[in-house]
């Protein structure tokens, strides 16, 4: 049988068609497009010419030679297919090599997109241009680092930088920012050259610098300084640190995780680690994706643990993984946190043990925050402390916080002792447990917390998670705990100054309070040895020294100057807007119910208006429960005033019907001050006012010892208006007390009402960075009882006119160097300043402003010595309804300023008129306008 001659064209055509089919596969098209973008796209298979079609191959099974050729051809085809399959598999493997999934037992799979870094650095140089805000205009003083202008600029810029990094993924490694130079750019705009330092080296990827640029652009977006995003430049300074880009399993290498560099007791690590990672790239990517676990303070050694998980110590050529028990300790403490590891896969022996053992006694480092502790005898300490910190942080922010709160509020005189015993505990030196630490006593911890923790909340600082007062020992033994005697010491007996006298043994009052007609001491000793009226007489204090018969008090006939004896004669119930009508009987020093016999609606109106309300809503009767007074319209004294209900009453008389009057009044009358008596007393930088001058003013106190920190204003019996920065980050109502009817902060006052908050409402758009929308409301847990010393203020019906003379009121310091807030309420006359004029005054003051003046702010004052100061915050700027009127509106809420009483620089207030709708929406009431 003759051989069948092979036709090479047929074989080549088949192979060509086979490769053409491969080419036609979308996978190959994708690779060609991906790697050869300039190659012209070939026609699809449907466009092939007939010449390319594989000719039909015929087989003659009866011919042995043909069979051999058939088997050879089939074998050849199989080889070609195998070769093509190998090629396809190789290309697919190459395409997918960048997306590899690693799994490790029960550990969740981690999909890695392997980045590569070229070098490491801990220092970045940067520059940016400030385009708007109070610091945008360059001044020559910026070139002098000792100038006030530079100091203000630096403080604001560094605050913005620190805040930005504190809320970023770099927060654990960020160290500081240094301003190298401020120079004029693009005309007169301020350009800043700066350096950012990190505590450990960062791996510098191709995206690191651009990510820092984006971070700063976002951080400066809502700050005081407005920065052009396009102007931000960041350059990493290359650090000569050897970088191992690849390592073989079993090969030691330098720790490669930024969070662990210089944070462990070893420097060399090895792979595979506890998560099964075998390459440095896998380690870096996984650490980036789970970076929060390195910064979680749930356990004092959490960072040490995770460093030994990711970068286990290289010991004798093997990895020393953390022990299973160590893992379980961390997991138990961090049960509410992410935990990407199964402790059961870790070894029980021949492993890294939990380092939590009593530490070696160390010298406390020097530095501003530690000086007070060293002076109190805390010169040696051991770690971890009672917040489970395992190092002495620099700066120690917690000691700084405690010190600053104490300076501002004097909340607890043993604050520093508490702080040092928690964060820098003394070594015990015990032979039983060497170098152990002595904790604060339970009673010291509890005393500090109940007096000062409210201010931690206001400053947005949480209580240390690991510090639980109830778990601490409490014995009078300084080898067991610190502060027992201090926590149990009796109240101080005040050593009063030369211009003060002792009052109720625990307070001091000004000598000018003696014999002034107001009972400032609870035991009345300040009014006890004065030239007094006889037992049966009433003194017309504080208006005059006149004595009248007690029977002439509350009879409707004016006998004293300013009719003081006819004030506070009528009340409803215990002083609310509804209740049984009562009249005061000075002869018996008792309150008597008013009989319902012959009562009418006109008297209801008179009564409600007398106690401070617009009119009566309902009149009814109740069965009498005590002594009564009844109407005696037939015997009204001709000199009596018909505006007083008592003009129509005869006290201690029989009530024939047995029922007494019960009234419900309408809305309160706002803006009045019936107990105000002009005083000739003039005090530098403002007037020290008498009780009753501003009955809408309230004081905010914090902690059990009631430390004053802000002012506020009464809107109605249930609501107080104050500044948002006075409440800060506080989300709960505990620890705040509102004092109503007070003028003399440290004195006893029979008109004082102490209230607690039911809810706090900080404006939803308030920003502590810009102080915009600096306004807040406090809902009270019980209503205010209105009297002549407690009345609501009116909300403004329009914007206050420029030049209108108003009063700023508060207990703030008289100057920035004053050691404490004022004991007596002060007022200062201020004129409303135009917004543009105010903006110009701030810009030309020579003092760099920490904030920008915005549309919802208003300005007042500017005269030498006339301004609010620290402690006036939250208090009102009170303006008359009309020129010459004695009805007062709250035009502004004291917000911020440049120092105190800087000549020609106004103070800044939140403009209340622009928040009327917000106030009414929150209070759900139609509060009265002037």
Tell me the C-alpha distance between 731 and 170, whole Å.
28
H helices of 173-230, in order, are 208-219
Ramachandran category for residue 503: left, alpha or beta (phi over 0 → left; psi -120 to 50 → alpha)? beta
* Over residues 62-69, mean pLDDT: 49
pLDDT score, position 105: 37
* Over residues 232-254, mean pLDDT: 76
Given 774, 788, 867, 872, which residue is catalytic? 774
Residue 76, H or E segment: helix 64-96
Q: Binning pLDDT at 50, 70 and 90, where does residue 412 land? A: very high
Residue 52 reports pLDDT greater than 60: no
253 Cβ neighbours under 8 A, 6+ residues apart: 244, 247, 268, 269, 270, 271, 280, 314
pLDDT score, position 847: 82
Does 325 participate in catalysis according to the annotation?
Answer: no
Instruction: Report pLDDT digits (tens) over 850-874.
Output: 888 999 999 999 876 566 788 899 9
User: Does the domain spanning 117-236 belong to CATH 3.30.70.960?
Assistant: yes
pLDDT score, position 117: 60
Query: What is the overall mean pLDDT for the chain?
Result: 81
pLDDT score, position 761: 96
Cis status of the peptide bond prior to 272, with omega within 30 of 0: yes
Residue 803 reports pLDDT greater than 80: yes
* Over residues 750-769, mean pLDDT: 93
Instruction: Report pLDDT digits (tens) over 246-261.
Output: 678 889 999 988 888 8
pLDDT score, position 678: 65
Where is pLDDT greater, at 253 or 81? Answer: 253
Share of the chain above pLDDT 90, in %: 43
Cis status of the peptide bond prior to 395, with omega within 30 of 0: yes
Right CATH for 687-923 from 3.30.110.60, 3.40.50.300, 1.10.260.40, 2.40.10.10: 2.40.10.10
Residue 8 reports pLDDT greater than 50: no
Sheet with 697-702: list strands edge to edge: 753-755, 736-740, 697-702, 707-716, 719-722, 776-780, 757-762
Residue 31 reports pLDDT greater than 60: no
pLDDT score, position 731: 86
Are the CB atoms for 450 and 707 separated by under 8 Å?
no
Q: Show the tokens assigned to 180.
A: 């190298």
Window from 643-657, 726-740, 797-811 with minimum mean pLDDT = 643-657
pLDDT score, position 69: 55
Q: Say how many C-beta atoms besides its own lie within 10 A of residue 361's C-beta.
A: 17
Q: Binning pLDDT at 50, 70 and 90, where does residue 20 land? A: very low
Are the CB atoms for 122 and 210 separated by under 8 Å?
no
Threshold 0.75, pTM exceeds: no
pLDDT score, position 201: 79
Residue 508 reports pLDDT greater than 80: yes
Given 604, 713, 739, 873, which residue is catalytic? 873
Tell me the C-alpha distance between 447 and 405, whole Å.
15
Q: Say how many C-beta atoms besides its own lie within 10 A of residue 627's C-beta.
A: 16
Terminal-residue alpha carbon distance, the chain: 124
pLDDT score, position 485: 96
Instruction: Report pLDDT digits (tens) over 654-709.
Output: 888 889 999 999 989 999 998 887 654 433 355 788 888 999 999 999 999 999 99
Residue 340 reports pLDDT greater than 70: yes
Helix (H, G, I), strand (E, B) or coil at 436: coil
pLDDT score, position 857: 96
pLDDT score, position 188: 79
Are the CB atoms for 414 and 422 separated by under 8 Å?
no
CATH architecture of 362-473: Orthogonal Bundle (1.10)
Beta bridge partner(s), residue 663:
579, 619
**Cα 850 to the center of its chain, rounded Å:** 18
Cα–Cα nearest to 728, from 916, 906, 920, 873? 873
Cα–Cα nearest to 141, from 703, 636, 847, 921? 847
Tell me the C-alpha distance between 160 and 153, whole Å.
11
Residue 177 reports pLDDT greater than 50: yes
* Over residues 721-748, mean pLDDT: 92
Tell me the C-alpha distance between 456 and 729, whole Å.
9
Right CATH for 253-345 from 1.10.10.10, 3.40.50.1980, 1.10.2000.10, 3.40.50.150: 1.10.2000.10
pLDDT score, position 910: 97
670 Cβ neighbours under 8 A, 6+ residues apart: 791, 792, 793, 794, 795, 887, 928, 930
Identity of the highest mean pLDDT range in 435-439, 598-602, 819-823:
598-602
pLDDT score, position 262: 78
pLDDT score, position 245: 55
Does 873 participate in catalysis according to the annotation?
Answer: yes
Where is pLDDT greater, at 120 or 477? Answer: 477
Cα–Cα nearest to 414, from 519, 489, 469, 473? 489
Helix (H, G, I), strand (E, B) or coil at 199: strand
pLDDT score, position 395: 62
Length reported for the chain: 930
* Over residues 410-423, mean pLDDT: 95
Cis status of the peptide bond prior to 384, with omega within 30 of 0: yes
pLDDT score, position 579: 94
Instruction: Report pLDDT digits (tens) over 190-227.
Output: 899 999 998 877 888 888 899 899 999 988 886 778 89
Domain extent listing, the chain: 8-95, 117-236, 253-345, 362-473, 537-665, 687-923
Q: Binning pLDDT at 50, 70 and 90, where does residue 501 land? A: confident
Residue 76 reports pLDDT greater than 80: no
Is-same-fold flag (117-236; 687-923)?
no
Tell me the C-alpha distance between 11 and 571, whole Å.
116
Are the CB atoms for 160 and 168 separated by under 8 Å?
no
pLDDT score, position 455: 95
Tell me the C-alpha distance between 547 and 831, whole Å.
41
Q: Which one-letter DSSP state was computed for residue 654? A: -
Cα–Cα nearest to 661, from 616, 609, 614? 616
Right CATH for 537-665 from 3.40.50.300, 3.40.120.10, 3.30.590.20, 3.10.250.10: 3.10.250.10
pLDDT score, position 359: 66
Q: What is the 3-state secondary structure (H, E, C) of 352-400?
A: ECCCCCCCCCEECCCCHHHHHHHHCCCCEECCCCCCCCCCCCCCCHHHH
Given 414, 436, 725, 763, which residue is catalytic? 725
């Amino acid at each position: 049988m003759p051989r069948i001659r092979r036709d090479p064209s047929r074989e080549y055509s088949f192979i060509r068609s086979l490769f053409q089919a491969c080419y036609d596969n979308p996978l190959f098209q994708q690779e060609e497009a991906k790697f050869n973008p300039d190659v012209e796209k070939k026609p699809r298979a449907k466009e092939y010419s007939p010449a390319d079609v594989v000719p039909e191959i015929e087989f003659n099974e009866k011919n042995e030679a043909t069979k051999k050729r058939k088997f050879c051809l089939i074998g050849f085809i199989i080889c070609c297919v195998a070769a093509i399959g190998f090629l396809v598999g190789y290309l697919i493997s190459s395409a997918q090599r960048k997306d590899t999934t690693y799994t490790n037992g029960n550990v969740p799979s981690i999909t890695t997109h392997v980045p590569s870094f070229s070098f490491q650095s801990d220092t970045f140089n940067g520059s940016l241009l400030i385009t708007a805000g109070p610091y945008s205009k360059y001044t020559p003083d910026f070139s002098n680092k000792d100038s006030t202008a530079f100091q203000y600029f630096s403080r604001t810029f560094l605050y913005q930088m620190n805040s930005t990094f504190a809320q970023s993924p770099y927060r654990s490694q960020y160290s500081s920012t240094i301003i190298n130079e401020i120079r004029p750019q693009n005309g007169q705009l301020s350009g800043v050259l700066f350096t950012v330092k990190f505590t450990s080296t960062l791996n510098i990827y191709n995206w690191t610098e651009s990510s820092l640029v984006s971070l700063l652009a976002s951080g400066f977006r809502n700050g005081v300084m407005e920065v052009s995003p396009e102007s931000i430049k960041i350059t990493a300074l290359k650090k000569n640190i050897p970088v191992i880009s690849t390592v073989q399993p079993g090969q030691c290498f330098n720790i490669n995780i930024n969070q662990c560099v210089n944070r462990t007791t070893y420097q060399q690590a090895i792979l595979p680690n506890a998560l099964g990672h075998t390459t440095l790239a896998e380690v870096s990517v996984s650490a980036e994706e789970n970076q929060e676990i390195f910064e979680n303070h749930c356990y004092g050694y959490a960072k040490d643990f995770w460093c030994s998980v990711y970068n286990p110590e290289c010991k004798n050529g093997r990895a020393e993984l953390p022990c299973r028990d160590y893992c379980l300790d961390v997991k138990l403490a961090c049960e509410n946190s992410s935990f990407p590891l199964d402790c059961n896969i870790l070894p029980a022996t021949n492993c890294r043990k939990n380092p939590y053992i009593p530490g070696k006694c160390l010298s406390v480092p020097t530095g501003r925050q530690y000086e007070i502790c060293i002076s109190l005898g805390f010169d040696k300490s051991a770690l971890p402390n009672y917040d489970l910190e395992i190092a002495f942080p620099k700066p120690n922010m917690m000691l700084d916080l405690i010190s600053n709160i104490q300076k501002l509020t004097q909340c607890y005189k043993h604050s520093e002792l508490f702080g040092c015993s928690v964060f820098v505990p003394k070594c015990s030196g015990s032979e039983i447990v060497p170098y152990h630490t002595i904790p604060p006593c339970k009673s010291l911890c509890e005393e500090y917390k109940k007096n000062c923790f409210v201010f931690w909340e206001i400053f947005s600082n949480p209580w240390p998670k690991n510090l639980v007062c109830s778990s601490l020992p409490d014995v009078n033994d300084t080898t067991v705990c610190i502060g027992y005697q201090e926590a149990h010491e009796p109240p101080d007996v005040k050593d009063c100054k030369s211009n003060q006298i002792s009052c109720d043994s625990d307070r001091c009052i000004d000598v000018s309070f003696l014999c002034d007609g107001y009972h400032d001491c609870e035991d009345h000793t300040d009014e006890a040895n004065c030239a007094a009226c006889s037992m049966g007489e009433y003194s017309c204090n504080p208006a005059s020294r006149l004595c009248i018969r007690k029977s002439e008090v509350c009879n409707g006939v004016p006998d004293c100057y300013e009719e003081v004896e006819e004030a506070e004669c009528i009340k409803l119930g215990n002083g609310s807007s509804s209740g049984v009508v009562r009249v005061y009987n000075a002869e018996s020093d008792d309150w008597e119910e008013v009989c319902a016999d012959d009562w009418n609606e006109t008297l209801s109106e008179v009564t409600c208006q007398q106690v401070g309300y617009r009119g009566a809503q309902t009149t009814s009767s109740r069965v009498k429960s005590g002594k009564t007074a009844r109407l005696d319209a037939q015997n009204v004294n001709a000199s009596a005033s018909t505006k007083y209900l008592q003009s129509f009453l005869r006290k201690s008389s029989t009530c024939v019907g047995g029922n007494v009057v019960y009234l419900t009044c309408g809305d309160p009358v706002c803006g009045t001050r019936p107990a105000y008596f002009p005083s000739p007393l003039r005090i530098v930088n403002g007037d020290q006012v008498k009780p009753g001058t501003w009955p809408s003013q309230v004081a905010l106190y914090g902690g059990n010892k009631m430390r004053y920190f802000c002012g506020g204003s009464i809107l109605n019996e249930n609501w107080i208006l104050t500044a948002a920065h006075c409440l800060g980050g506080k989300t709960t109502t505990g620890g705040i007390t509102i004092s109503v009817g007070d003028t003399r902060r440290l004195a006893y006052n029979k008109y004082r009402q102490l209230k607690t908050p039911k809810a706090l409402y900080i404006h939803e758009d308030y920003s502590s960075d810009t102080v915009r929308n600096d306004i807040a409301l406090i809902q009270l847990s019980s209503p205010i009882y209105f009297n002549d010393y407690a009345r609501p203020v009116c909300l403004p019906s329009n914007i206050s006119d420029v030049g209108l003379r108003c009063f700023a009121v508060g207990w703030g310091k008289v100057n920035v160097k004053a050691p404490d807030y004022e004991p007596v309420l002060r007022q200062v006359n201020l004129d409303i300043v135009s917004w543009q004029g105010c903006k110009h005054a701030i810009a030309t003051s020579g003092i760099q402003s920490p904030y920008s003046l915005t549309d919802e702010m208003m300005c007042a004052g500017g005269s030498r010595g006339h301004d609010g100061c620290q402690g006036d915050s939250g208090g009102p700027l009170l303006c008359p309804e009309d020129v010459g009127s004695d009805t007062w509106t709250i035009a502004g809420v004291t917000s911020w300023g440049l120092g105190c009483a800087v000549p020609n620089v106004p103070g800044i207030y939140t403009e209340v008129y622009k928040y009327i709708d917000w106030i009414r929406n929150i209070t759900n009431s139609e509060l009265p306008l002037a």
